[in-house]
Structure 1
Amino acid sequence: MKKFIINGILGLLLVYLFDLGVGKVLEYYYFKQESGFQHRTTISMEETEADMLVFGSSRANHHYYPDVFINGLNKTFYNTGRDGNFIFYQTAVLKSVLQRYKPKLILYDFSGKFCYVQEDYDRMSSLLPYYRKHLEIRDIVNLRSSFEPIKNFSSIYPYNSTLANIVIGNRNLGKKGTKGYVSLTGEWNEPLKEHKSIEKYEVDEKKLAIFNEFLNLCKQNDIPLVVCVSPVFYTYDKDYSITLCKQVCNEKNIPFYDFTKDERFLKSSQLFDDKEHLNDSGAKLYSKITLNIIREQLGMSKKD
C-alpha cells in the first residue's frame, strides 16, 4: 500500500510537471505572436492606449476604416473587434482596457442575439489565455461553466485549441490588420434577398446583464459611447435583438444607430464582401457616415 501511494504521488507529480512545462511553452509562443487574431486580442487587452476604440465581432473588425477616424477626429484609433466573439468577449476586453487607461471614445458595433446560444459561451475560450493574469475577466469567463476555475489550474487548458494559430502567428502568416482593422476585398454578386424576421424570444439574462455592464462601465468612466448596427445586404421585417439593444440604449441615454435598412447600402451589393460584411470600399463609405455621427455627438461640425 505504501509503495502504491508513493507511486501515485510520483505519477501526479510527473503529470503536474508535464502540464506546467508544456503550458509554459504554449504560453510563451502564444504571447510571442506578431500577427493574427490572437495577437490582436493581446494588443486590445494589454497594449493599446488608443483614444478611440471600436468593439464588436467580425462586423466591427471589418467595417471601421482607421484613417477615416484618425484624420476626422484627430485621435488615435484601435479596432478590438474579433470574428465570432460577441457580448461576453467585448465586455471582458473593455474591463481589461479600463485596468490600464480610459479611452476618450468608444464605438460599439452590435451584432449577435440576446437569446441563449451555447456556442456563445463556448467561444469564450478565446479569453482563456488571459484568465490567470486578468482577474477582472474571471467573473465573465466563469459563466462558461462552474468548473472553469478548476480547469484553469491546468497550464495547458487555456491553449487547448490554439496550437495551429500559435504556429501561424509566430511564423507571421496571420493577418496583421491596420490598427486592428482587417479589410475584406471580395465583391458580393448575389441579389438582395429577404430574411426571416427574428421575433420576440426568451432572453438570456446573463447576456443582457453583461451587455448592460459594458454600457454602465462607459457611463461610470465618463467615456462617450455610440452604439451602431452596421449595414447588411438583405432585408427583414423585425429583429428582436436589435429592438432590445435599442431599448436598452434608449433607457441609458446612449446614442443608437441602426444601418441595416439603409438604402445607400441595400442598393449597392458591390460594397459587400458577403451579405453580412462590407468590403474595404463599403467600410470606407460607412466609416465616413459614422464619423459624421460621432462628430455630431461630440459637438463637432460635420465633414463631407
Structure 2
Amino acid sequence: MKSFIIKVLVFVGLFYAADFIAGMVLGHFYIKSKNINLLNTNYGFSGNVKDDILIFGASELSHALIPHRITDKTGMSTYNLACDACSIYYQYPMLETILEAHVPKVIVLSSNQMNEESLGYVTKLYPFYDTNKHVKDLVDVLLPKEYFKLALNGYVYNSKLIRVFDRSNDNRNGYVPLHPEEIRIDPSDFEVLGVGKNNPITADTENYFRKFVQKATAKGVKVYVWVPPILQKMNGDYRAKMTAVVETTGAKIIDFSKDQYFLSRSALFFDQSHLNDDGAKVMTDRVMQILKEDGVY
C-alpha cells in the first residue's frame, strides 16, 4: 500500500512538473506567435496599446477597416483589434486593460458584439487569467467552475496549439484582407430571415455591451457603433433593440446595413456577411469621411 501511494505521488508530481514546463514553453511561443488572431489578442492585452483609433469586433470588422489606410489619411495611429468569432465578453476586459494605461481618441465597435450567446470564444482569454485581473474577474463570473481547470497549463493552451506555431500571417495592424478573386458571390444570393431568427441579444450581452461603451465614453473616447452591410435582410426586432441599446450609451451609430452602395454591389463582398479587400477600401474611406465630418481630424 505504501509503495502504491508513493507511486501515485510521484506520478502526480511528474504530471504537474511536465504541465509547468509545457506551460512555460507554450507561453513563450504564444506571446511570439504571428497568427493574426493571437497577435491581436496579445497586443490588446499587452498594456502597451497607444493608438489613437481602436477597432473592436469579430470577423465582420477584422476584414472591413484598414488601419494603415486610416493612418495615411488622418495621421492618427490605428489598430484593428477585431478577433474572429469573438464577442463582447472578449472585448470588455481588453478595453479595461487598455484604459488603465491609455485613452484612445476614437473607438469603432461592431454592433454584432452583443449578439453572440456562446461562451466558446472565452477560452481565448485563458492565457491571461493568472496575470490580468480584468480577465480573471470576467471568467470567474461567466465560468466559475473553470477555476480549478485553469490551474493546468495544458488546459489553458489546449485549444491554441495550432495557432501558437502559425507564422504565416504578416502584421497589417490587425487587418485581414479577403481577396476578391478568391470567392465571388451571386448577386441574387440574398437571404430573407424570419422574425426572431437573426441576432438574438441576451440581457448579459446587452449589459456588457452597454458597460463597454459607457466605460469608454466616460473617459472621453468618441465611440462609434458600426452596423455592417450584409447581403441578408436584417431582422426588424433586432434592429430596434440594438438601436435602443446604443442610444442609451452615448455612442453614435454608423449604420451601413441599408446602404445601397454596398448592397447593390456584390463584387465588394467575399460572402454574405464579409467584405472583401475592395469592399474594405470603400468602407474605410466611408468611415474616415464620417470622422472628418465629426471633426475627429
Normalization by structure 1: what TM-score?
0.88
Q: Determine the structure 2 residue equivalent to 1:21.
A: 21
- Is structure 2 residue 109 aligned with structure 1 residue 108? yes
Letter in 1 for 2:277: D
- Is structure 2 residue 7 aligned with structure 1 residue 7? yes
Secondary structure of the residue that 2:236 maps to in structure 1? Answer: coil
- Count of aligned pairs: 292
**CA separation in 2, counterparts of 1:243 and 1:195?**
18
Q: Determine the structure 2 residue equivalent to 1:38.
A: 38
Secondary structure of the residue that 2:229 maps to in structure 1? Answer: coil
Q: Determine the structure 2 residue equivalent to 1:284.
A: 281
Pairing 1:167-178 to 2, within 5 Å after superposition:
167-168=165-166, 172-173=167-168, 175-178=169-172
Root mean square deviation of aligned Cα: 2.2
Structure 2 unaligned blocks of 5 or more: none
Secondary structure of the residue that 1:178 maps to in structure 2? Answer: coil
- After the TM superposition, which of the residue ranges 105-114 and 85-94 deviates more from structure 2? 105-114
**CA separation in 1, counterparts of 2:278 and 2:237?**
27
Cα deviation per residue 1:93-130 (whole Å; 9 max; x = unaligned)?
Answer: 21221233111211112215547x3xx20111111111
Q: Determine the structure 2 residue equivalent to 1:231.
A: 229
Instruction: Tell me, yes or no, if the aligned pair for 2:49 and 2:102 is still in contact at 8 Å.
Output: no
Structure 1 unaligned blocks of 5 or more: none
Q: Determine the structure 2 residue equivalent to 1:189.
A: 185
Give the direction of change, closer, same or farther, for the CA distance of 1:260–1:34 in structure 2 (3 Å limit): same
- After the TM superposition, which of the residue ranges 52-61 and 41-50 deviates more from structure 2? 41-50
**CA separation in 1, counterparts of 2:133 and 2:170?**
27
Normalization by structure 2: what TM-score?
0.90
Pairing 1:38-77 to 2, within 5 Å after superposition:
38-46=38-46, 47-77=48-78
Give the direction of change, closer, same or farther, for the CA distance of 1:59–1:202 in structure 2 (3 Å limit): closer
Q: Determine the structure 2 residue equivalent to 1:98.
A: 99
Letter in 1 for 2:101: R
Instruction: Tell me, yes or no, if the aligned pair for 1:64 and 1:284 is still in contact at 8 Å.
Output: yes
**CA separation in 1, counterparts of 2:121 and 2:195?**
23
- Is structure 2 residue 266 aligned with structure 1 residue 266? no
**CA separation in 2, counterparts of 1:58 and 1:113?**
14
Instruction: Tell me, yes or no, if the aligned pair for 1:69 and 1:75 is still in contact at 8 Å.
Output: yes
**CA separation in 2, counterparts of 1:236 and 1:255?**
19
- CA shift for structure 1 position 7: 3.5
Aligned with residue 149 of structure 1, among 138, 147, 150: 147
Give the direction of change, closer, same or farther, for the CA distance of 1:229–1:189 in structure 2 (3 Å limit): same
Q: Sequence identity, in percent?
A: 26
